[in-house]
């Protein structure tokens, strides 16, 4: 067997304890790994590097294309970004895979239900793109960026992941009923791609219903693909079903790069105490071995963990309570002692190497045959009431190629009035349509309108109203016809 070279980031808090337990077990199982130990997180922030990830660590991951990582603390209360998010973004690890599975001997209200599903969470887009603005002193905006390309990558990966583990179903969980463009893109992409995987049962599910079903019937799910924010919430719900964070492993997968880490954080109060449960990172190590296609070794480590948990002779504090608790090192040694033993407690899967889908890197990945810009939404900050503002903007647009179609406030049409009076703030979405239906908005038409608005009001931002291939690329507001 070739000696794999892997970047090892021990991380903060309990990180060094849980990662060293994992390395010890992997080596004892028969893989000689060349670990390249690198820094990231608190120690690096303290040295004054605001990203928390030094160049040497970035270079090591670039070289090795694979890393095992302990948790990294995110500084609270001062300017630095999360080093975890920096790593995810730098290496475009677009998928976060979180298996949720019942373990023998681990207490949970769901014990015996045979929970065994995996959440495939989009990892770089959505609200986590981190693009935020204060548009007025009292109105914040976060952009939810969802791309067709990002959806295609995550959907294909979910099907490939299901295939690599012999899973028979994939659910796509979205809020497409409300966010028809952003969440809807994931749903549509899922429905387009599903027929390419005829052996897998593909179903869409509204995400709130998915949360409800996960609590009532978690055993009916095998794979769930979802957007970043939905996945963040569903996967924590999932780890709650099976005994807590000590049992939730994870993988961040990119085009040809992968970073393996537990879902949990650095649990600083347990740092250095040798009491923490290392199972989540050990199982992240199992996922890493499977990614390297070392299926036999992965099975061997996984089985040893299951045997240790089932026998329950040597368990950590979180599983068995303080009185009978073994230390992290004793638990690790017990797993090593159990390497080579197997149990029938759980049906074994037939694992194959994960085929990460190759998708074109072209920026203009999605092209339209035709496009027209039929108007513009101007977001205006004004203390006026809706009637006065509406009348004023109608006057301003006289003599221009535009007519004011409507004004909405927090998503509800307030001008022309529908007779209801929602609570409003000084942040108005003012929709101007070109009077001539076949015309195309250009800067020569737009700039004089903006100048007129800007002379009397503060405008915060603009959105062009695009029509791609004959379909509106903008939403209607509540109450807009």
If binding is defined by CB under 6 A, does position 72 make contact with ligand NAP?
yes
By CB under 6 A, tell whether 265 contacts ligand NAP.
yes
Of 211, 218, 321, 222, nearest to 275 by C-alpha is 321
Which of 56-64, 194-202, 225-233, 257-265 is the region at the interface with ligand NAP (rule: CB under 6 A)?
Answer: 257-265
Contact 95, 252 (CB under 8 A): yes
Work out how close the CB of 103 gets to ligand NAP at its nearest, in angstroms, rounded to a whole number: 13
Which is nearer to ligand NAP, 74 or 226 (by Cβ)? Answer: 74
Least distance CB 162 / ligand NAP (angstroms): 24
Q: Which residue stretch of 153-161, 203-211, 274-282, 396-404 sits at the interface with ligand NAP (rule: CB under 6 A)? A: 274-282
**Residue 280, interface with ligand NAP (CB under 6 A)?**
yes
Q: E-strand spans in 91-190?
A: 95-101, 116-122, 132-136, 139-142, 169-174
> Rounded CA gap, 169 and 480, in Å?
39
Buried/exposed code over 118-146 (b: 16+ C-beta within 10 A; e: otherwise): bbbbbbbbbbbbeeeeebbeeeeeeebbb
Of 7, 8, 31, 71, which lies in the binding site for ligand NAP, with binding defined by CB under 6 A?
A: 71
Nearest Cα neighbor of 70 from 5, 12, 26 is 12
Would you give the binding string for ligand NAP spanning residues 137-156, x where CB under 6 A is met? --------------------
**What is the spatial distance between Cα 181 and Cα 466, in angstroms, rounded to a whole number?**
13
218 binding ligand NAP? (CB under 6 A): no
Of 155, 207, 201, give the one whose Cα is nearest residue 176. 207
Residue 325 found at the interface with ligand NAP (CB under 6 A): no
Q: Which residues of 351-384 are buried (b: 16+ CB within 10 A; e: fewer)?
A: beebebbeeeeeeeeeeeeeebbbbbbbbbbbeb
Q: Would you count residue 99 as binding ligand NAP (CB under 6 A)? A: no
According to CB under 6 A, which one of 84, 96, 382, 408 is a site residue for ligand NAP? Answer: 84
Please choose, out of 65-73, 138-146, 183-191, 461-469, the segment that lies near ligand NAP by the rule CB under 6 A: 65-73
Spell out the residues 6+ positions from residue 16 whose beta carbon is closer than 8 angstroms to its own: 10, 70
246 binds ligand NAP (CB under 6 A): yes
The partner residues of 101 in beta bridges, in order of sequence, read: 116
Instruction: Name the residue whose CB lies closest to ligand NAP.
Output: 265
Out of 98, 156, 264, 431, the residue judged to bind ligand NAP by CB under 6 A: 264
Distance CA 71, CA 9 (A): 9
- CB of 416 vs ligand NAP, minimal distance in Å: 48
Positions that interact with ligand NAP (CB under 6 A): 71-74, 84, 245-246, 261, 264-267, 276-277, 280, 318
């Amino acid at each position: 067997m070739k000696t794999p070279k892997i970047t090892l980031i021990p991380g903060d808090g309990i990180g060094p304890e849980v990662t060293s337990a994992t390395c010890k077990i992997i080596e004892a199982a028969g893989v000689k790994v060349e670990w390249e130990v690198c820094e990231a997180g608190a120690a690096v922030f303290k040295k004054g590097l605001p990203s928390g990830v030094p160049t040497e660590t970035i270079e090591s991951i670039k070289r090795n294309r694979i890393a095992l990582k302990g948790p990294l603390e995110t500084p609270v209360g001062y300017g630095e970004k999360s080093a975890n998010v920096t790593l995810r973004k730098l290496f475009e690890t677009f998928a976060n895979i979180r298996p949720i599975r019942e373990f023998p001997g681990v207490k949970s209200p769901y014990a015996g239900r045979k929970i065994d599903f995996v959440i495939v969470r989009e990892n770089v887009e959505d609200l986590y793109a981190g693009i935020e603005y204060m548009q007025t002193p009292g109105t914040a905006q976060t952009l939810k960026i969802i791309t067709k390309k990002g959806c295609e990558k995550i959907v294909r990966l979910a099907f490939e992941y299901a295939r690599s583990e012999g899973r028979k179903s994939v659910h796509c969980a979205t809020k497409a009923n409300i966010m028809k463009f952003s969440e809807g893109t994931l749903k549509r992409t899922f429905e387009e791609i599903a027929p390419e995987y005829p052996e897998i049962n593909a179903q869409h599910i509204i995400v709130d219903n998915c949360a409800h079903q996960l609590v009532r019937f978690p055993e009916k799910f095998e794979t769930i693909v979802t957007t970043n924010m939905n996945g963040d919430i569903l996967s924590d719900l999932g780890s709650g079903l099976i005994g807590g964070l000590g049992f939730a492993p994870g993988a961040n997968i990119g085009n040809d790069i992968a970073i393996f880490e537990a879902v949990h954080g650095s649990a600083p109060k347990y740092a250095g105490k040798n009491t923490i449960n290392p199972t989540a990172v050990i199982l992240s190590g199992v996922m890493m071995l499977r990614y390297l296609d070392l299926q036999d070794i992965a099975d061997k480590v996984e089985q040893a963990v299951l045997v240790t948990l089932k026998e329950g002779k040597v368990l950590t504090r979180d599983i068995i309570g303080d009185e009978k608790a073994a230390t992290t090192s004793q638990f690790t040694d017990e797993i090593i002692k159990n390497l080579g033993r197997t149990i029938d407690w759980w049906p074994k899967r037939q694992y194959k190497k994960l085929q990460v889908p190759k998708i074109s890197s072209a920026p203009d990945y999605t092209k339209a045959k035709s496009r027209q810009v039929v108007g513009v939404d101007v977001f205006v900050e004004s203390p006026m009431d809706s009637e006065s503002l509406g009348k004023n903007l109608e006057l301003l647009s006289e003599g221009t190629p535009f007519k004011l179609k409507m004004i909405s406030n927090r998503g509800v049409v307030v001008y022309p009035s529908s007779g209801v009076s929602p609570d409003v703030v000084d942040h108005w979405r003012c929709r101007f349509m070109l009077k001539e239906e076949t015309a195309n908005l250009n800067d020569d038409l737009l700039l004089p309108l903006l100048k007129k608005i800007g002379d009397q009001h503060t405008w915060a931002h603009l959105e062009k109203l695009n029509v791609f291939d004959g379909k509106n690329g903008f939403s209607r507001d509540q109450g807009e016809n």
